């Protein structure tokens, strides 16, 4: 069993970071119950449940939350929970009678996790957006991408998938906030609201770079002009003879010396590693060397050393890599290969993930758990205020 075994989480269905947070908690053993709408919301990217990896390992109940009977069923479920997660615009849960005050009136120990882009307050609180908007406003997007000076094929900022906003600054910070509030509840006996905004979380992720900029060690005005943003030739990527790529991260002199010795880079580059005047020539020399062999040939030469060079793998290649294979870092769930739960624990062993549920797949069993009789459930389903979906 996972370390969160015995924890009950109610997830009010949303998109992006909310489901990812719920997945992380479910992966670690929490019993996650997703309250769905009667019909798909039309938000996000439609996908067959078994391919919806962030929605794995929970049960689904479909309720009409705009109706009194639907809200009452939701409240009964919430009353049995430790945590509630919602990712709606500020005020939506309140209008449905499911806001923090409504829930805490019936369950004062509830930890109420709120996931938004801009937070519960501020002039942008009600504005729609997605990951790219939040990381743009936080300063992260400006720092990632080409120089924008005509030297790149794709100048300007480049979205780093939705890893930084939705998942890094969103889901992970909501998860930390929920766990922190649960810890505090052990002392106070009271629940509280966790206001997790992606603009806040991404800003927190940028802490190092704010410090470097304040100390004059980071030029925030230009992309690819700093040590960690692709400007340094010893912290960059290089195309190999087969059109694939190698990542080099030899920041420290001893690691750069190891790399140079193994690939035949001239010693003068090692001696003047941090001389920015030499960086353009150093980059050209490294690029010329790496174009002489394929990615896998370089990998064979450099793997296991302190040269800090790695092949740039596709997701499929990453899953098949011997290191991932030995650590069993990926699992097959319903024929879909996906990352295994992380992190790992010395004693606790989370159960194997389960495929995402169909919308309303567990409505009847969850209503039974909430204290409804069979006749009450049948009446609720017949009224159209709840929905049960049976697997094919």
Residue 89 CA to residue 77 CA, distance in Å, equals: 22
Report the C-alpha dihedral over residues 90, 92, 98, 103, rounded to 10 degrees: 10
Task: Please state whether beta strands 386-387 and 59-63 pair in parallel, antiparallel, or not at all (unpaired).
Answer: antiparallel
DSSP state of 171: I
210 is catalytic: no
Q: Which long-range contacts (CB under 8 A, 24 or more apart) does 249-255 make?
A: 249/308, 249/309, 249/310, 250/307, 250/308, 250/309, 251/227, 251/308, 254/306, 255/306, 255/307, 255/308
Triad 386, 390, 392: Cα angle to 5°: 150
Burial of residue 329 (number of CB atoms within 10 Å: 0-12, 13-18, 19+): middle
CB 350 within 8 A of CB 28: yes
Which of 75, 104, 107, 130 is the catalytic position? 130
Residues 6+ positions from 121 with CB-CB distance below 8 Å: 90
Q: Are strands 31-36 and 111-116 parallel, antiparallel or unpaired?
A: unpaired
Residue closest to 366 by CA, chosen among 388, 384, 382: 388
Q: Which of the residues 36, 64, 82, 166 is marked catalytic? A: 166
183 vs 166: CA distance, rounded Å: 24
- Helices 279-290 and 253-263 sit at what angle, rounded to 10 degrees? 40
Q: How far is CA 277 from CA 72, 269, 272, 281, in A?
A: 69, 11, 9, 8
Known catalytic residue at 166: yes
CA atoms of 350 and 72, how far apart (whole Å): 32
Phi-psi bin for 345: left (phi > 0), alpha (psi -120 to 50), beta?
Answer: beta
**DSSP secondary structure string for all residues of 175-227:** HHHHHHHHHHHHHH----EEEEEHHHHHHHHTHHHHHHHHTT---TTSTT-ST
- Which amino acids are annotated catalytic? 130, 166
């Amino acid at each position: 069993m996972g370390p969160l075994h015995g924890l009950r989480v109610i997830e009010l269905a949303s998109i992006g970071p909310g489901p990812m947070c719920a997945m992380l908690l479910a992966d670690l053993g929490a019993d996650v119950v997703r309250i769905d709408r009667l019909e798909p919301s039309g938000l996000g990217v439609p996908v067959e449940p078994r391919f919806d990896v962030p929605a794995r390992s929970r049960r689904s109940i479909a309720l009409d939350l705009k109706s009194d009977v639907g809200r009452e069923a939701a409240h009964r479920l919430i009353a049995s929970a430790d945590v509630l997660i919602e990712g709606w615009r500020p005020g939506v849960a309140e209008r449905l009678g499911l806001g923090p005050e409504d829930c805490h009136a019936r369950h004062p120990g509830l930890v109420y996790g709120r996931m938004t882009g801009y937070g519960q307050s501020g002039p942008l609180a009600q504005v729609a957006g997605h990951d790219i908007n939040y990381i743009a406003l936080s300063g992260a997007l400006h720092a990632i991408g080409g120089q924008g000076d005509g030297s790149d094929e794709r100048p300007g900022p480049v979205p780093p998938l939705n890893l930084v906003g939705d998942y890094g600054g969103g889901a992970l910070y909501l998860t930390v906030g929920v766990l922190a509030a649960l810890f505090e509840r052990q002392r106070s006996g009271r629940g509280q609201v966790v206001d997790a905004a992606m603009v806040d979380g991404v800003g927190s992720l940028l802490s190092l770079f704010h410090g470097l900029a304040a100390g004059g060690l980071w030029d925030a005005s230009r992309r690819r002009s700093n040590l960690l943003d692709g400007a340094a030739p010893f912290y960059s990527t290089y195309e190999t003879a087969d059109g694939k790529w190698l990542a080099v991260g030899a920041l420290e002199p001893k690691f750069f010396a190891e790399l140079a010795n193994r690939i035949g880079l001239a010693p003068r580059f090692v001696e003047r590693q941090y001389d920015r005047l030499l960086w353009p020539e150093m980059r050209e020399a490294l690029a010329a060397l790496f174009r002489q062999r394929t990615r896998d040939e370089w990998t064979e030469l450099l793997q296991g050393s302190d040269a800090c060079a790695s092949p740039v793998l596709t997701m499929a290649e990453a899953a098949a890599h011997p290191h991932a294979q030995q650590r069993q870092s990926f699992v097959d769930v319903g024929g879909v290969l996906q990352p295994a739960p992380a992190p790992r624990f010395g004693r606790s062993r989370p159960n194997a993930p389960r495929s995402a549920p169909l919308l309303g797949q567990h409505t009847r069993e969850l209503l039974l758990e909430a204290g409804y009789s069979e006749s009450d459930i049948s009446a609720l389903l017949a009224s159209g205020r709840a929905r049960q979906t049976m697997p094919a």
